[in-house]
């Protein structure tokens, strides 16, 4: 079993937390994991990409080869289209529909979403409103983890456990919001 994930978004959207939760859960379940992050310059509102590789065999490269990602999980619709060269023929794109239009030439959102929906396996999620309903727009990235969860080779309970661990330091309220967001994302993906 090999499951390569491209995590995409814009600096500041919490791509690294998404990566951390999935990676820790996979390790907990005994999978080999390589997780490559981008720090520094591009975190300043630029395009952000993380490579996350899960496998039941040792993994050599930290970077995902072209055409082999099982999933592109994006926090932002335009960014979900940026790394399609890495997606395998039967791979899935899951993206939040909420744009970060911090560039002058951002294309019309309808066009962007039409491109996503035109892909063979795609799922679009209004993650921000689901997160708000769960208690805070800041939990948008956990909605996206939930939305990806049916495809991930890890048990949902393990993801829940790590959401608890990672947010424990921020108080019970934050943990609850993020757990709710996780569930909301999963429910939306199963609709």
Q: Which residues bind another protein (CB under 8 A)?
A: 10-12, 23-24, 27, 32-47, 60-69, 78-79, 81-89, 91, 102-107, 115, 118-120, 169-174
User: What whole-number distance in Å separates Cα of residue 55 and Cα of residue 51?
Assistant: 13
- Minimum Å gap between C-beta 47 and another protein is 4
- Minimum Å gap between C-beta 173 and another protein is 7
Nearer to another protein, 22 or 186 (CB): 22
- Minimum Å gap between C-beta 62 and another protein is 4
> What end-to-end distance do the CA atoms of the chain give, in Å?
27
Q: Token pair for residue 122?
A: 């795609």
- Minimum Å gap between C-beta 45 and another protein is 5
In the block, residue with structure tokens 């993206």: 95
- Minimum Å gap between C-beta 13 and another protein is 12
Nearer to another protein, 140 or 186 (CB): 140
User: What whole-number distance in Å separates Cα of residue 34 and Cα of residue 164?
Assistant: 22
User: What whole-number distance in Å separates Cα of residue 29 and Cα of residue 7?
Assistant: 21
Nearer to another protein, 78 or 125 (CB): 78
Segment holding 25, helix H or strand E:
helix 15-28
Nearer to another protein, 49 or 186 (CB): 49
In the block, residue with structure tokens 């591009």: 42
Say which DSSP state 111 is in: H
Nearer to another protein, 1 or 41 (CB): 41
User: What whole-number distance in Å separates Cα of residue 145 and Cα of residue 159?
Assistant: 9
């Amino acid at each position: 079993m090999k499951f390569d994930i491209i995590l995409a978004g814009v600096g500041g959207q919490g791509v690294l937390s998404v990566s951390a939760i999935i990676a820790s859960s996979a390790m907990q379940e005994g999978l080999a994991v390589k997780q490559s992050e981008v720090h520094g310059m591009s975190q300043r509102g630029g395009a952000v990409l993380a490579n996350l590789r899960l496998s039941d065999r040792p993994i050599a490269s930290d970077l995902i080869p072209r055409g082999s990602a099982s999933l592109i999980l994006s926090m932002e619709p335009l960014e979900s289209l940026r790394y399609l060269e890495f997606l395998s023929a039967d791979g899935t794109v899951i993206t939040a529909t909420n744009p970060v239009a911090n560039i002058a030439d951002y294309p019309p959102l309808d066009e962007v979403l039409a491109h996503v929906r035109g892909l063979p396996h795609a799922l679009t999620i209004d993650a921000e409103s689901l997160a708000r309903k769960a208690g805070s727009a800041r939990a948008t990235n956990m909605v996206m983890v939930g939305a990806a969860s049916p495809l991930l080779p890890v048990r949902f309970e393990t993801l829940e456990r790590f959401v608890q661990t990672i947010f424990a330091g921020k108080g019970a309220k934050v943990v609850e919001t993020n757990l709710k967001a996780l569930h909301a994302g999963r429910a939306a993906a199963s609709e």
